[in-house]
Structure formats: structure tokens, C-alpha cells
Amino acid sequence: MSLELTFNPDIQMTEMMRLRVQFLQQRGQKRQDGERLLKSNEHVYRLDFSEQDLHFTRWNIHMSAPGHLNIIATSQLWTPDLTHLMTRQLLEPTGLFWKSTDDDLIQCYEADAQEFGERIAELAKVRKVMYFLFAFEDGLSPENIDCSIEFQK
């Protein structure tokens, strides 16, 4: 039986992380050693797991405009309500998906996308929620994507 989970924008968390950047800039302070600040083209998304024992099947990415989408997962150690995001909490590989102006197909690095999906399924065994940074490039924006991931239960 398959289970499709949709990545949902976490607008409140994105805003909180943007305020952190703004706070540091206003005070002329630098980030903490190893802290990962949110870039202007990045947004926080979350994935809520209703099931824990999952096996990755495939990505469902739809883009209504050309551009690049880089999905960066955070590890189970990040508690965004309590701690700043640290670089060491970002997982490799990332999911890089793109669509060119002259092609309707979504492209990706298949081996990386496969490994990335499998790592998410592994973390789902110990997590009910995972957070992701979605980096939009080359004209792509949050309004242009629909993104989900499919698992076998």
C-alpha cells in the first residue's frame, strides 16, 4: 500500500529564521560558529509522518515554470523552536530538481534523489516531523511547485 506525503510550507518557521538574519544584520553581529542562516531564496517546509515504517518509492515534483529546486533535509537533531539551525544538521545528498524552458520533463540526479528519499524514509522511523530547506533558483518560486514524496507502507 502506498502513502503520498506532501511537503508543506512552514511560513511561521521561515519568518522566524528570516528575523534571525535581520536581527544579526541590524546589530552588526555574526552568526554563531557553524550556524546556517536562511538565504533569501530559501523557505522552510515540513513533512509530517503519519506512519513510521516506510520505504521510499518516488518523488512527485511538478513545476509550472522553469528553474531549479534544491531540497535540503535537516537531521533529527534540529528542534527549530529551541535551537538555531547548524550546518552539521543538514543531510547529504540533497534533492536537486530542475526544469528547462524548452522541456516539460522534470530532471534530477537520479542516484542522489533515490538516496535522499531512502534517507528520509530511514529518519521517518524515529521522527514524526522533518524540516527541509527549499532553495528556489533561476526564476522558480514557491508558487510554481507542487512537491510530494511517495512511500510503500
pLDDT of residue 84: 83
Q: In the structure grid, which three cell numbers stand for residue 112, read together?
A: 542522489
57, 63, 68, 72: CA torsion to nearest 10: -40
Give the bridge partners for 52, in sequence order: none
- Three state DSSP letters for 90-141: ECCCCEEEEECCCCCCCEECHHHHHHHHHHHHHHHCCCCEEEEEEEEECCCC
pLDDT of residue 11: 94
**How far is the C-alpha of 109 from the C-alpha of 120, rounded, in Å?**
16
Mean pLDDT of 49-72: 95
Question: What is the tens place of the pLDDT at every residue in 69-123?
Answer: 999 998 766 776 677 888 888 999 999 999 999 888 999 999 999 999 999 999 9
pLDDT of residue 144: 95
Mean pLDDT of 33-39: 93
**How far is the C-alpha of 116 from the C-alpha of 105, rounded, in Å?**
20
Mean pLDDT of 38-54: 94
Average pLDDT, the chain: 93
pTM across the whole model = 0.93
